[in-house]
């Protein structure tokens, strides 16, 4: 018994050899497949390492689809709230105005002008005297509702965007930006008198 044990230990002793041996091709292939899978996994779920993308979201495009559309869309939503607070009492929620109170905004050529240059002045300075809207002559006075910080520039921009989009109003580029509002504001900073329709018509429709 002792003899046999001695013998087997000697057999199992590893022999020292020099030289190289080849890696099995199937291991290499398996590693390749695993690497490919890992890369495509990260590619599909990593959001391109964008700092705005966190699990469980996959990409910025996916996140953008959750946000209420574009800037025009959100300006519309904000502007609708502003309109309800400041404008809707006279111009009405449906934008049709009311006889003896305010002219309509829906379908009004003043609102549908190419640019907002004229209508930005109205909430800041007010409007007085005769004005023709959709073929009807009105002669009333509008208060300078946004003057003296009554509304923020963002609010004015949002509400003007809104009236250029709702009630079937369609303008090629409806978005009014706060930058446009502050540009116009710097032009009218010395004026306190209300605007008149004639003066407005002399101005270009687009904000210069």
Residues binding other proteins (CB under 8 A): 49-54, 56-57, 63-67, 78
From the CB of 26, what's the least distance to other proteins, in Å? Answer: 30
First-to-last alpha carbon distance for the chain, in angstroms, is: 108
Of 18 and 61, nearer to other proteins (C-beta) is: 61
Query: Torsions phi, psi of 15, nearest 5?
Result: -90, 145
Give the residue with the Cβ less far from other proteins, 158 or 163.
158
Instruction: Name which of 5 and 51 has its Cβ closer to other proteins.
Output: 51
- Asked if 30 and 37 count as a contact pair (C-beta separation under 8 A), the reply is no
Shortest separation between residue 49's beta carbon and other proteins, angstroms: 6
Q: Classify residue 149 by its DSSP letter.
A: G
In eight-state DSSP terms, residue 8 is H
Give 77 or 113: the residue with its C-beta nearer to other proteins: 77
The residue assigned the tokens 């006889």 is 99
CA–CA distance, 164 with 113 (Å, rounded to integer): 9
Q: How far is the CB of 39 from other proteins (least distance, A)?
A: 16
CB of 56 to other proteins, least distance (A): 5
Residue nearer to other proteins on the CB measure, 56 or 100: 56
Smallest distance, Å, CB 165 to other proteins?
Answer: 14
Contact call for residues 121 and 200 (beta carbons, < 8 A): yes
The beta strand positions in the chain, using DSSP E, are 130-133, 136-139
């Amino acid at each position: 018994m002792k003899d046999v044990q001695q013998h087997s230990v000697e057999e199992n002793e590893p022999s020292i050899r020099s030289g190289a041996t080849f890696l099995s091709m199937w291991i290499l292939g398996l590693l390749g497949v695993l690497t490919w899978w890992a890369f495509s996994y990260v590619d599909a779920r990593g959001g391109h390492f964008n700092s705005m993308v966190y699990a469980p979201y996959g990409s910025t495009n996916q996140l953008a689809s959750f946000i209420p559309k574009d800037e025009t869309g959100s300006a519309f939503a904000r502007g609708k709230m502003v309109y309800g607070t400041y404008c809707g009492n006279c111009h009405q929620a449906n934008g049709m105005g009311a006889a003896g109170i305010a002219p309509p905004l829906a379908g009004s050529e003043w609102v549908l002008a190419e640019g907002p240059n004229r209508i930005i002045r109205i909430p800041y300075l007010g409007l007085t005297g005769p004005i023709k809207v959709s073929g009807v002559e009105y002669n009333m006075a509008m208060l300078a509702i946004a003057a003296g910080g009554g509304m923020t520039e963002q609010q004015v921009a949002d509400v003007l965007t809104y009236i250029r989009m709702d009630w079937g109003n369609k303008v090629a580029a409806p978005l009014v930006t706060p930058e446009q509002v502050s540009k116009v504001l710097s032009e009218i900073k010395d004026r306190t008198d209300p605007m008149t329709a004639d003066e407005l018509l002399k101005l270009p429709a687009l904000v210069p």
